[in-house]
Structure formats: structure tokens, C-alpha cells
Amino acid sequence: MKNMKTSFSLNLLLRDNIKRLVPYSSARDEFKGEASILLDANENAFGSPYARNYNRYPDPLQHRVKEKLHRIKGVPVENIFLGNGSDEAIDILFRAFCEPGRDNVILVPPTYGMYEVSANINNVAYKKVNLTIDYQLDLDGIAEAIDAHTKLIFICSPNNPTGNSIRRQDIETILVNFDGIVVVDEAYINFSKQPSFTTDLAEFPNLVVLQTLSKAWGLAALRLGMAFANKEIIAVFNKIKPPYNINQATQDIVLEALEGVEIVNEWIKEVVGEREKLSAALQVLPQVTHVTPSDANFILVKLEEPRALYNFLVDKGIIVRDRSKVELCEGCLRLTIGTPAENKTLLKEVKRFYNG
């Protein structure tokens, strides 16, 4: 990939209809401050007998949650977007920057499947540039795939389903040389020793970093995703999103959960420790060909008879992910790291399958 500074222009990337879009203005957008009587949003003033605190619409921009995230992550509030899962942020990127039937994005499989699904939903073409045999970026292949209509490049690091981190220098090379937006999905960053790209937002105006509270924070059911970018890109996200995309119950629980940073850090240490123990135990089995070194809360294991083992584990009430038919993951199962007891049971059943 040639070494030249990107001439990134947000205005040139935005779809014309998004430039012209006048966002919906909710009652809570128009009013700022405190009040004792709210008669502006056609809410039920009596409230529900089952959830009396939820009869009012939530803060459309989630100021309190973002302020707490700012203190934890060191990212300014104006650089934070909260979505209904990271999937909402992914969908908004397509709707904001990709003209259906004309533009395209680059994917680097094996990778998170929602990038391709969202491209199909939005009728946006995608070009696949496979990772190398060691699950790193093919920089020359990506450079050849970029054309005048390439708007987004998605990079998952630590990568799903392989678990490894993508070389930081390679991602920086793309950020420097690509005029479009580079999306770095860091859903598993808490389990890695690699630094987050959120520290580089000021340096790279075309960078969008995705994170989530579903993994390390243990809040998958709440569906709260985060996007970090320069404030102009975040303004585009807020322009497009539904007015109340994060419900009040989610905001309340998240505010409470974000007080538990120390607990989460202990969980992360335990998961990483269990990851290393399970990896080591599997690697000594003669039927296991390879365990990919992981920076995530799962491991990708290449082994004999993956589909038969998968079905055997299902019969034992243990559900793992069969990735054996995914290109570059042939013969592999993806194993999420569970509790110590769950990991012990998994290992016992794997040995039973192979040894009888």
C-alpha cells in the first residue's frame, strides 16, 4: 500500500440525502434543564402500575451514560455515540456513507458476519479481501480492491472468529492511505493487551471505533454498543438514529453497572487466565491440530472431526460454534471461555469424545 496522507473529506463521503436530512426533533431535544410538570411529549402522566418510573421518554442523547463513559475511557462526550448494539452503528455507517447500488465496502474475512448482512440489507456491494494464512491484513490486496466508490473498510480486532489482534501498524497504514472511513471493531478489546484505537481519534479523522458492553461488561441482553469518532461523524450518527434509540431501563442499568470497573477488571483477569489454561489443555490432545493464540474471550481450535464433536457436545448440553465451513477456519470450532466449572466440563467431554 503506497505511503501517502489521506485527503479525508466527510462532506465528500456523505450521501446527498443525508446532507439534506432534517433530523426529527423530539420534545426532549427542544427542552433543556429541569422541570416539575412535563406536558410536552404526550406521555401518560399517571405512569404504569408495573413500572412507574418509565412513563417518561428517555434522554435521547444519553448524556449521563456518556459522561460516565468519558470518565472511564477518556474519550470526550462529543466523540461518543451509543447504539442499540454495535449493529445499529454498523447500519448507520451504511446508510450515511454508501449509496445503494453504487458504492461498495471492503470486508476482510473471516470476520464478523453482520458487516456482510448489513451491506446486503442496504443494497451495498462488498469486496472480500481474505486475511492471510496467519489471520493478518493483506495490504496489497486491500489496496487493489479500493476504487472511487469504496466508502468503508471494516476491520475487527481482536478478530471474530479467529481471536487474534490485527497488527496495529497495518491498520494505521490503511488509515493514512484510504480516503474513506476505516471502522475498527473492538468488541473484544478488554481481553487484549493491545491499546485501543480510541486514543488515536484526534490523529485519524476517518477512524470509527466500535466497542460494546456485551462482552467484558456482561450486559449482552441490554444491547448497548458504542461508536467513537471525531465529533463531525458522531453528529451524523445522531442525525440519523431514531430519537429514543436507547431505552431508559437500559440507561439506568448501565449507569449502575459502570460503577463496577474493579469487578469487571477481575472478571477479565479470570477469563484470560481460563483462556490460557483451556488453550494449553487442548493443545496437548493429539486430535487438536492448532489453537490460534487469542486476545478475546474465546479460542479457535482446529481439530479432528469438528462436526461430529459439535453434535456430541450438543447432546451433552454444551453449545459451541461450528466454524469448520468458514474459509480459512476449516476444521475449526470456536469455544467461548466459560466459568472454571464450565471449562472443566467442556474439556472432559472433548476428551471423552476422542478417547471413548
How far apart are alpha carbons 8 and 333 in whole angstroms? 40
> What percentage of the chain has pLDDT greater than the value 70?
98
In this structure, whether the domain defined by 10-259 belongs to CATH 3.40.640.10 is answered with yes
The answer to whether 275 and 337 are in contact (CB under 8 A) is yes
What's the confidence (pLDDT) of residue 7?
81
How far apart are alpha carbons 156 and 176 in whole angstroms? 18
Check: pTM over 0.85? Answer yes or no.
yes
Please report, for the chain, the start and end positions of each structural domain, with discontinuous segments joined by +.
Answer: 10-259, 262-355
Alpha-carbon Rg for the chain in angstroms: 22
What's the confidence (pLDDT) of residue 5?
60
What's the confidence (pLDDT) of residue 221?
97
86-97 vs 114-121: helix axis angle to the nearest 10?
40
User: Are 10-259 and 262-355 the same fold in CATH?
Assistant: no
- Residue 180, sorted as left (phi over 0), alpha (psi -120 to 50) or beta, turns out to be beta
**CATH superfamily membership of 262-355:** Aspartate Aminotransferase, domain 1 (3.90.1150.10)
The answer to whether 141 and 153 are in contact (CB under 8 A) is no
What's the confidence (pLDDT) of residue 3?
57
Per-position pLDDT tens, the chain of length 356: 655 566 899 999 999 999 999 998 887 777 777 788 888 888 899 988 888 889 999 999 999 999 999 999 999 999 999 999 999 999 999 999 999 999 999 999 999 999 999 999 999 999 999 999 999 999 999 999 999 999 999 999 999 999 999 999 999 999 999 999 999 999 999 999 999 999 999 999 999 999 999 999 999 999 999 999 999 999 999 999 999 999 999 999 999 999 999 999 999 999 999 999 999 999 999 999 999 999 999 999 999 999 999 999 999 999 999 999 999 999 999 999 999 999 999 999 999 999 97
Question: Exposed/middle/buried for 280, CB within 10 Å: 0-12, 13-18, 19+?
Answer: exposed
- Where does 174-315 show beta strands of DSSP type E? 181-185, 207-212, 224-228, 288-291, 298-303
How far apart are alpha carbons 263 and 276 in whole angstroms? 20
pLDDT, one tens digit per residue, over 323-342 is 999 999 999 999 999 999 99
**Measured at the alpha carbon of residue 296, what is the angle toward residues 72 and 205, in degrees to the nearest 5?**
55
How many CA atoms are closer than 13 Å to the CA of 180, on its beta-carbon side?
24
First-to-last alpha carbon distance for the chain, in angstroms, is: 52
pLDDT, one tens digit per residue, over 212-256 is 999 999 999 999 999 999 999 999 999 999 999 999 999 999 999
**Partners of residue 150 on adjacent β-strands:** 104
How far apart are alpha carbons 84 and 245 in whole angstroms? 6
**Number of other residues whose CB lies within 10 A of the CB of residue 180:** 22
H or E element, residue 150: strand 150-156
